[in-house]
Amino acid sequence: MGQLCKDRVCVVTGAGRGIGREHALLLASHGAKIVVNDLGGSMDGEGHESGPAHDVVAEIVAAGGEAVANTDDISSFDGAEKLIRQAVDTFGDLHAVVNNAGILRDRMLTNMTEAEWDAVIKVHLKGTFGPSHFAAAYWRDRSKAGDSVDGRIINTSSPSGIYGNIGQTNYGAAKAGIAAFTIIASMELARYGVTVNAIAPAALTRMTENLGMGKVDDEMKEKLSPKWIAPLICWLASPESASVTGRVFDITGMEIAVAEGWHKGPTAPARHDPEELGPLVLDLVSQARPNADMFGHDKTDG
């Protein structure tokens, strides 16, 4: 095994199970020192169990790597600050933050409660903002002090956020926000030597079993294994990725693609009279590329 991330200090949130666990294990196998963050809650964010984070740490240490556990709630500002401080205090530096933690509370819009909306937005969107904020402040201070900085923030969006999925207005809105956050943060942090990218993964985990992904054959299970996602994270966390920033990568079923964001489509002069807009708008829409399906393809592609 190579040492793509040798001696780089990496924080991975939601790393006790699923995709995050694969990130942490592969980064460690490539020489990174890992802070394994996991609150240990259920899929919907309830409860708190320290076991998953410590189990992953034990697995890394048994394989000869270096890791510590963190069970702070990264959706709180205090928890996010403690997480970043622990990385720096324990290992003396920080090179990459992988924002992976998430929950699901799927519901159709007409039935969704305020609590279901707030919980998902808090964990995904604020849980990305908090660790990123404190990491960015650390790197900014290092840069202003004249130190060389080679920082990475790697966020987790979703096909539900960049393409859309029924029953996930809360989750999709959070994940779309993370995609926009990624692009803007990449612009702000470039001056400090920090890149910001995101992935939009689809994999078979406990979070996707209830979405129909658990009822697949062995071949599809292999294609949708979380292990196919971790290599991209490992490369993005490494020094080799310094020239790539502000990108969202669609990674699904052993395939990597660059997700291309919003672009201005068919255009026409504006009108003062709203009664004139009907034919104009219908014509523009008829010329426009249709929205993508959950696989990122035009819905008319069949």
Q: Which positions are annotated as active-site residues?
A: 171
Amino acid symbol at 16: G
> Do 16 and 36 form a contact (C-beta atoms < 8 A)?
yes
Q: What DSSP line would sit under 158-224, residue for residue?
A: -HHHHT--TTBHHHHHHHHHHHHHHHHHHHHHGGGTEEEEEEEEE--STTTGGGTTTS--HHHHHHT
Q: Which helix (H) or strand (E) holds 12?
A: strand 9-12
Here the tokens at position 156 are 């987790």
> Do 66 and 100 form a contact (C-beta atoms < 8 A)?
no
End-to-end CA distance of the chain: 41
